[in-house]
Amino acid sequence: MLSVNDLMTAIPDTVTPQTTLRQVIEVMKSQGCRQLPVLRDGKLAGIITDRDVRLVMNSPLLLHGRWQDEEILDSMTAETCMTPDPMTVSPHTSAYQAANMLSIYKFGALPVVDNGELVGIITVTDFLNYFALQQPELIDQGD
């Protein structure tokens, strides 16, 4: 049986609740990811996504001029816009069950936790990469 452990990104990049949005964006850009687990004292506290950051920066609830973007990026933290206590899976969870959870809840990723410790992250991209590699001869055809 294919498990989350077979597809996940082990030991993913993380941020803390105090990480500024500017730093969150920098980590996402440098690592080429769209979701980051948020750790408080080494334990999973939440998950922040590129969408969370965009919503804060473009929120109608936070009226501001574009000239204030720099201040927001440096003063707001991951904790202010992360999803706290996110849904998780274990490394032993069936890959099919994890894919179903991503589909049903429209998540881009699920943190992978084993005995209370973050050990990885499973993303929609992980599933797409796995699927694409099943018939690599078809990838270059452009159909």
Spatial CB neighbours of 93, under 8 Å, sequence gap ≥ 6: 3, 4
**141 in a domain, yes or no?**
no
C-alpha distances (whole Å) from 114 to each of 43, 109, 137 are: 11, 16, 36
Rounded to two decimals, the pTM is 0.88
The CATH number linked to 99 is: 3.10.580.10
Asked, for residue 83, whether it belongs to a domain, the answer is yes
Residue 142 placed within a domain = no
40 occurs within a structural domain: yes
Report if residue 143 sits inside a domain. Answer: no
* Rounded distance between C-alpha atoms, residue 60 and residue 140, angstroms: 43
CA–CA gap between residue 52 and residue 64 (Å, rounded): 17
- Residue 3 in tokens: 């498990």
Length of the chain: 143
The tens-digit pLDDT sequence of the chain (143 residues) is 999 999 999 999 999 999 999 999 999 999 999 999 999 999 999 999 999 998 888 765 555 555 577 788 888 999 999 999 999 999 999 999 999 999 999 999 999 999 999 999 999 999 999 998 887 776 665 55
